[in-house]
Chains A and B, each alone.
Chain A
Amino acid sequence: MKLIDLAAIDHEEKSAYDIINSVCDELGFDYASYATTHPVKGDVQGYANYPDEWKIHYGSQGFHKVDPTLYQSALSIAPVDWGRFNHDDKFNAVFRDAHDFGITDRGLTVPIRGPYGECGLLSVTKDCSDTEWKKLKKHVMGDLQLAAVQAHDTVMQSGLLAKALYLPALSSREKEILQWTAEGKSQQDIGDILCISHRTVEVHMRSGREKLGALTTPQAIGRAIGLGLIYPG
């Protein structure tokens, strides 16, 4: 089982790496990483913006084979605070070493399950006080969920086969709402037009955006038009 740094081999497709960097810049974390296990070969592949010395040490010690932030977090549906592992010997072994590289054991991992049962993991760390950590978590958890699903889909879509399987399947509601948005209608307007609550419009919109791998609604509209799913307004 190998540990593969996708950023090192994949020069064209750097957007997952961009996502983890922006997680640090915009949400205020020290380091971030995305990892997934190859469904066939079992290799751990992903991106991390940890210092190179730590990445090398991590790989050479085979930590990717035991690290509970990877294997345990994949068993949860909710983000896992690494505090849950503080009695875990393997966790302590990995993070005793991490400490020597200036990396804190204060972190959390957001697991994302994909439609084929595969799992992607977005991890973030920040060296800070209990209070600050608690406040930060409350503030950014939604954004982390979004970043995690984007990173996962970006990596999954980088393969050709996966690309074919991952063609966004938008429901007619989602298409309808994107179409009305392309016509310049607000969420409230669309709710009134379709006789549903604006909250429901928001749920379908969010689902549509994620299926299209879009960060914003305008981007989703652009992609949906590009794919011929809706017409230009």
Chain B
Amino acid sequence: MIIVIDGINQHKFNHVLDDMYKLRARVFGDRLGWDVNIQDGREKDQFDDLHPAHVVSINDEGDVVGCMRLLQTTGPHMLADVFSSIMDGEPPIRSSQVWEATRFCVDTKKLGRGRGKNSVSYVTSEVMIGSFEYAQEAGVLDAIAVIDPVMNRVLQRSGNAPCDYVGSAKPMGKVVAMAALMDCSDERISAIREYADIDHDVFLTDEQALERFETGRIAFQQDATTANLDHQPLTELEKYFVEQMHSATTKTEVEAVLRLIEALSDRFTPEQKTALLKTPRAFAHEA
């Protein structure tokens, strides 16, 4: 589900924003190798200080699994100030009815393949629907998005093909960046909804989003206290299992890890074993 965080409600969502900056660091810094500034494991730039709107996808456990950043093209924005080479030296588009979308990403580690609710494809569509509907309600008619060719293909495949491009694609660090135009129309929104099979309202109210995040945190804390009773640092073997559990993407893989823990149970105290079996999530956070 989607929560829009802007300068007005951001004080309630500092923890969500923090998780979002961490996700962006993992995606743009580690995975895509963009030339971005990462500090303390968080990717943040000067545009984040200008009170943009962040369209954030939060899963049932309260984790940030996708996001996108929106700015007005009337004010400072990336195509005008950072990605200006894409515009081939031309002045950027400036209109109160065109927004700029940047820093779109999803958590490929937490999300799986396929088309289900916890898939990359579903969350991609959810963030897109959230952004376009939010823009549409604001009287905005088009969005200009800075994307890479991979994202471009994802959009074309998911009922959300850009209607045109502005300027020309330019290398940025290890990747190529391009500026895509997308109309914020009913047609586009229904095409994405149809592709992703999403027909419900995707937005959470501030209260619902906070509740969701709190529930996730309480569950996590309970896990952590019952799980790590001895409060000892994790052993190498425990860490190994945690990593395995973390990288497991299917149910079969999870079960395989659990079987392995069972098989090696003589290496643990009974408490450690129950903890590992019961709450992989609690440990995963410590590794």
Contacts and interface: CB of A to CB of B under 8 A. Distances in A.
B70 A197 contact: no
Q: Is the interface of B mostly helix, strand, loop or mixed?
A: loop
Contacts of A117: 50, 75-76
B74 A204 contact: no
B90 interface: yes
Interface stretch (B17-25, B137-145, B246-254): B137-145
A44 to B, nearest CB: 18
Contact of A199 (B51, B70, B91, B183): B183
Interface in B68-107: 70-76, 80, 87, 90-99
Q: Is the interface of A mostly helix, strand, loop or mixed?
A: helix
Interface centre among A73, A137, A203 (most CB of B within 10 A): A203
B181 A142 contact: no
Nearest to B140: A145
Nearest to A149: B96
Interface stretch (A74-82, A95-103, A179-187): A74-82
A172 interface: yes
Interface stretch (A32-40, A107-115, A218-226): A107-115
Nearest to B81: A115
Interface centre among B87, B92, B96 (most CB of A within 10 A): B96
Contacts of B135: 78
Contact of B51 (A75, A149, A172, A206): A75
A136 interface: no
Contact of A141 (B92, B94, B137): B137
A77 B163 contact: no
B29 interface: no
Contact of B70 (A77, A115, A152): A77
A61 interface: no
A72 B11 CA distance: 12
Contact of A171 (B52, B70, B75, B90): B90
A98 B282 CA distance: 53
Interface in A60-103: 72-80, 84
A78 B6 contact: yes
Given A117-B50, A141-B137, A145-B138, A112 B164 contact: no
A148 interface: yes
A24 interface: no
A170 interface: yes
Given A113-B76, A197-B163, A77 B6 contact: yes
A152 B94 CA distance: 14
A84 B98 contact: no
A196 B73 CA distance: 22
9 cross-chain pairs, A with B, having the tightest CB-CB distances, nearest first: A75-B7, A113-B75, A141-B139, A78-B138, A169-B91, A171-B90, A142-B139, A149-B96, A145-B96
Interface of B: 6-8, 50-53, 70-76, 80, 87, 90-99, 134-135, 137-142, 163-164, 166, 181, 183
Given A78-B6, A84-B8, 19 more contacts: A73-B8, A75-B51, A76-B53, A77-B99, A117-B50, A137-B137, A142-B97, A142-B141, A144-B139, A145-B97, A152-B74, A173-B90, A196-B164, A197-B164, A199-B142, A203-B164, A207-B73, A207-B93, A207-B98
